[in-house]
Amino acid sequence: MFRTYLFALLLLNATGVFSQNPTPNWTNQYWTARWILHPTAPSRQYGIFHFRKAIELPQKPARFIVHVSADNRYRLFVNGKSVAMGPARSDTQNWNYETLDLAPYLQAGRNVLAAQVWYMGEGAPFAQMSYQLGFVLQGDTDAEKMANTDATWKIFQNPAYSPIKNDIPKLRTYIVAGDGDRVDAAQYPWGWEQPNFDDKAWVAAKPLGFPTKPRGLGTDGNWGLVPRTIPMMEENTLRLTTVRRSENGKMDDTFLQGKSSVTVPANTKAVFLLDQSYLTNAYPELTVSRGKGTVITLGYAEALVDAKNKKGNRNEVEGRTLLGFEDQFIADGNPKRTFRPLWFRTYRYLQLTVETKGEPIELNDLVGQFTAYPFEQKANFTASTSTPGDTTLKAIWNVGWRTARLCAGETYYDCPYYEQLQYTGDTRIQSMISLYVTGDDRLMRKAIMDYDHSRFNEGLTQSRYPSADFQVIPTFSLFWVCMIHDYWMHRQDDTFVKSMLPGIQSVLSWHEQRIAKTGLNGPLEWWNFVDWSAWKNAKDETAGGVPAGARKGGSSILSLQQAYTYFRAGDLFAHYGQNERAEYYRDLGRRLNKAVFAQCYDAGRGLFADTPDKNSFSQHANILAVLTDAVPAAQQAALVQKTMADTSLTQATFYFKFYLFEALKKTGLGDQFIAQLKPWRDMLAMGLTTFAENPEPTRSDCHAWSASPLYEFLSTTCGIRPGEPGFRAVRIEPFLGDLKTVDGKMPHPLGEIAVQFQKTPTGGLTGNVTLPTNLTGTLRWKGKTMVLKGGKQAVSL
């Protein structure tokens, strides 16, 4: 499933396997290799560059470790084979390098190392931070130092490339995923990465004047190098499924299967609409022959649109057009030329527009190389419903998992098509899905660190990071704190969690300073996003997604989210012995709760209003009132019921339903979770193959926060949750609702937790629970409790 270059990402903290041959610690000393670049080309403007160096080896090595990085990005080849892509996205003071063993690709005698490095300039994605063009490769020991980047490397600026600017007015939306690629095959140095390529005309690379250094050394900024902490991305081949439309040309599904070619005659404009049948992230690879001067435009879209720019059912193509991101390839007339963009594309529909000149062109093949963080699904969930033939829960699981996968790469993405930015509000939910479905916590840990690195002088974290465009959402800083609490509850990693406490304190201090004399939040700066809801009486808020009271003060929602976070911070500080500070924050939370209840609770309606004016009401305020205990415990279940039933309230969209589901668990109403999945069933009925950002009409068809049912199937329906910090114990309280049976399993640091439950006709629970050998816990059902131990045990309550 994985491409061969996943072979050997050897992080520095794993190099102990070579203890018989100690190596330098490149994290705390200057590198002997130099950053190199083109001697005359601008270093901060758009450009695609190729680097090469030949090395001689007396024999095939058993080990050849190198450390590699570039700005913006690189693709590394050894003897013509692609072996790695990087660096993992970060900021300049935490600039990742990859540690690779090139030995499997080397041979006795002459070997050629080659790298494609690109710098996108003004057309870079917002997720790409940068200093300037550069490439560096450091050999690990004396045995590898011959590969070090210096003036012995050769470089060539590729004139074939130019950027395609996204036409934002045409797309009518916010899209910041970077420019497309236009490649003129006639100017491309074909075979540049192969050992026998003639590079005599290439110039010597220019070493930069400052030393190459790990983070924490040196007098200047530039790049502070740190080891990559996540694995290399998965890449494997997939094929489009169906030709949905052909204009002025003949193409059938055998072309997509790689069984036939397609010829477009001279002086013809042919258009082929191709359907993957589901959304994906992939590097398209189009191979063509002949057709000198032919212009081929590749357009990508999540869905087609009608004349009113509406998506409608995602399976429909009649009367619809593709409006989206584009690449372009200009053929040079030679056989078997392959176009592949520098960065992956997101698409369900891929449209080829082929405009030939004086000779026909042959389309030989088109494949996609799927790419994503290499998550492995280890969890499972199945259930039998009371409706015969109902398979929607299985479909929600599968589509949710695809959504989560497409929104995870070198960082978490809010959405892969439009932004590819790591936003904290999304990431908190994505992280819980990762923990429960895969057990892999590395991307969650990296995200927590990314946000910590983003903190600015006021003490808040940035809302999305890494990001070249500065943005602050104070509510997301609070969710960063909650995300650390989540990690602490699920992983035993005290050193890491303790390192975050100073940042947590700075975030909490910013919010504390803005509590007004009323006891509620006073006027708040920045973008206080809560949800993409149709907020009423929020006319003083110019940015979308903001409830009333943020700009002038008095928002119950923002005050309650602050309390929600203070209680979780109190848990963390108490656990690490800072009891006085813990109680201080808990007391702040209680005071905020009290102020919200006194000023925003409407006794007549039995609901919390959004502000003391009591002229707008939302699900959000009432959900948070339950989660923070702003309302007495005895009244919480009734409040949740009323919150769900009252359609006059501003409704939570897919994102904030995560917190509604948490309120259901907290109040013992988890049996109602399955019934709350109607919006997800509606998306399936609309032909969506991933879950959308918002109810229709939506911008993004793939938004990670909408995959939250995966986590809820395991934590609510199966009822599996940590019983103690670090998941040292488990608490299982299933909520089957109308389901007849439930089977689920999920990874735990000690092994696997598996449950199998069925309800008896009298309302009891039978089945079995299997825990890792050294894990204990409790099972709860309708007020009864059973002690759980390691191994498999029968359940009868």
User: Sign of the C-alpha dihedral, residues 610, 614, 619, 621?
Assistant: positive
270-312 pLDDT, tens digit each: 999 999 999 999 999 999 999 999 999 999 999 999 999 999 9
- Residue 130, pLDDT > 70, answer yes
657-689 pLDDT, tens digit each: 999 999 999 999 999 999 999 999 999 999 999
Question: How buried is 317 (Cβ within 10 angstroms: 0-12 exposed, 13-18 middle, 19+ buried)?
Answer: middle
Q: Mean pLDDT over residues 516-525, rounded?
A: 95
- Residue 6, pLDDT > 70, answer no
For residues 269 and 354, is the Cβ–Cβ distance under 8 A?
Answer: yes
SS3 532: coil
For residues 86 and 68, is the Cβ–Cβ distance under 8 A?
Answer: yes
Higher pLDDT, residue 334 or 219: 334
For residues 3 and 236, is the Cβ–Cβ distance under 8 A?
Answer: yes
Residue tagged 């997604």 (tokens)? 545
Architecture of domain 412-692: Alpha/alpha barrel (1.50)
- Residue 470, pLDDT > 60, answer yes
Per-domain boundaries in the chain = 4-231, 235-372, 412-692
Which of the residue ranges 161-175, 396-410, 585-599, 724-738 would you say has the lowest mean pLDDT? 161-175
**Residue 17: partners with Cβ closer than 8 Å, 6 or more residues away:** none
Neighbour-count burial for 10-25, b at 16+ CB within 10 Å, e otherwise: bebeebeeeeeeebee
pLDDT at 536: 75
Q: Give the helix/strand (H/E) hosting 398.
A: helix 392-406
Q: In 3D, which of 770, 723, 718 has the Cα closest to residue 743?
A: 718
- Residue 10, pLDDT > 50, answer no
User: Please, which residues bridge with residue 110 across strands?
Assistant: 56
pLDDT at 1: 40
Distance between CA atoms of 224 and 714, rounded to whole angstroms? Answer: 40
Which of the residue ranges 205-209, 389-393, 561-565, 587-591 would you say has the lowest mean pLDDT? 389-393
Question: How buried is 649 (Cβ within 10 angstroms: 0-12 exposed, 13-18 middle, 19+ buried)?
Answer: buried
780 pLDDT band (50/70/90 cuts)? very high
Question: How buried is 456 (Cβ within 10 angstroms: 0-12 exposed, 13-18 middle, 19+ buried)?
Answer: exposed
pLDDT at 4: 38
pLDDT at 172: 72
Provide the whole-model pTM: 0.95
Which of the residue ranges 14-23, 318-327, 334-343 would you say has the lowest mean pLDDT? 14-23
First to last CA, the chain: 43
CA Rg value for the chain: 28
For residues 497 and 484, is the Cβ–Cβ distance under 8 A?
Answer: yes
Q: Give the helix/strand (H/E) hosting 681.
A: helix 678-685
For residues 588 and 559, is the Cβ–Cβ distance under 8 A?
Answer: no
Please state the φ and ψ torsions of residue 492, each to the nearest 5 degrees: -90, 95
166 pLDDT band (50/70/90 cuts)? confident
Q: In 3D, which of 166, 159, 164, 167 has the Cα closest to residue 181?
A: 164
425-440 pLDDT, tens digit each: 999 999 999 999 999 9
SS3 343: coil
pLDDT at 90: 96
Q: Give the helix/strand (H/E) hosting 488.
A: helix 474-490
User: Please, which residues bridge with residue 588 across strands?
Assistant: none
Rounded to the nearest 10 degrees, the angle between the axes of helix 678-685 and helix 392-406 is: 80
Q: Mean pLDDT over residues 224-233, rounded?
A: 98
For residues 547 and 558, is the Cβ–Cβ distance under 8 A?
Answer: yes
User: Sign of the C-alpha dihedral, residues 628, 630, 635, 640?
Assistant: negative
Q: Give the helix/strand (H/E) hosting 253.
A: helix 253-256
pLDDT at 11: 39
pLDDT at 173: 82
Which of the residue ranges 55-64, 169-178, 226-235 would you say has the lowest mean pLDDT? 169-178
Q: Mean pLDDT over residues 552-581, rounded?
A: 98
Distance between CA atoms of 507 and 488, rounded to whole angstroms? Answer: 18
Q: In 3D, which of 476, 431, 464, 419 has the Cα closest to residue 700?
A: 419
- Residue 16, pLDDT > 80, answer no
Rounded to the nearest 10 degrees, the angle between the axes of helix 654-666 and helix 633-645 is: 140
697-723 pLDDT, tens digit each: 999 999 999 999 999 999 999 999 999
Q: Running DSSP on this structure, what letter comes out for residue 31?
A: B
| Average of per-residue pLDDT values in the chain | 95
**Rounded to an integer, what is the distance from CA 352 to the centroid of its chain?**
28
pLDDT at 687: 98
Tokens of 664: 């259901």
Share of the chain residues as helix, strand and coil, in percent rounded to the nearest 5: 25, 30, 45
Topology (CATH) of 235-372: Jelly Rolls (2.60.120)
74: amino acid identity, one letter: Y
For residues 116 and 48, is the Cβ–Cβ distance under 8 A?
Answer: yes
22 pLDDT band (50/70/90 cuts)? low
pLDDT at 18: 32
User: Do 235-372 and 412-692 agree at the fold level?
Assistant: no
**Residue 386: partners with Cβ closer than 8 Å, 6 or more residues away:** 738, 739, 740
Which of the residue ranges 241-245, 381-385, 528-532, 535-539 would you say has the lowest mean pLDDT? 535-539
User: Please, which residues bridge with residue 96 across strands?
Assistant: 226
Length reported for the chain: 797
Q: Mean pLDDT over residues 479-502, rounded?
A: 98
For the chain, what is the largest distance between any 2 Cα atoms, rounded to a whole number of angstroms? 87
Q: Mean pLDDT over residues 494-523, rounded?
A: 97
User: Sign of the C-alpha dihedral, residues 402, 404, 407, 408?
Assistant: negative
Cα separation values, 236 from 2, 370, 704, Å:
6, 5, 22
Which of the residue ranges 112-116, 387-391, 448-452 would you say has the lowest mean pLDDT? 387-391
Share of the chain above pLDDT 90, in %: 92
Q: Running DSSP on this structure, what letter comes out for residue 514?
A: T
pLDDT at 7: 37
Q: Mean pLDDT over residues 29-57, rounded?
A: 98
User: Please, which residues bridge with residue 788 across strands?
Assistant: 777
Neighbour-count burial for 513-531, b at 16+ CB within 10 Å, e otherwise: ebbeeeebbbebebbbbbb
pLDDT at 128: 98
Q: Running DSSP on this structure, what letter comes out for residue 214?
A: B
652 pLDDT band (50/70/90 cuts)? very high
409 pLDDT band (50/70/90 cuts)? very high
Q: Mean pLDDT over residues 509-537, rounded?
A: 94
- Residue 5, pLDDT > 70, answer no
CATH superfamily for domain 4-231: Galactose-binding domain-like (2.60.120.260)
CB neighbours of residue 437 within 10 Å: 27
- DSSP for 537-598, please give it: S-TT--STT--TTTTTS--HHHHHHHHHHHHHHHHHHHHTT-HHHHHHHHHHHHHHHHHHHH
757-776 pLDDT, tens digit each: 999 988 899 999 999 999 99
82-119 pLDDT, tens digit each: 999 999 999 999 999 999 999 999 999 999 999 999 99
Cα separation values, 474 from 546, 557, 565, 622, 654, Å:
11, 13, 12, 20, 20
Q: Mean pLDDT over residues 745-751, rounded?
A: 98
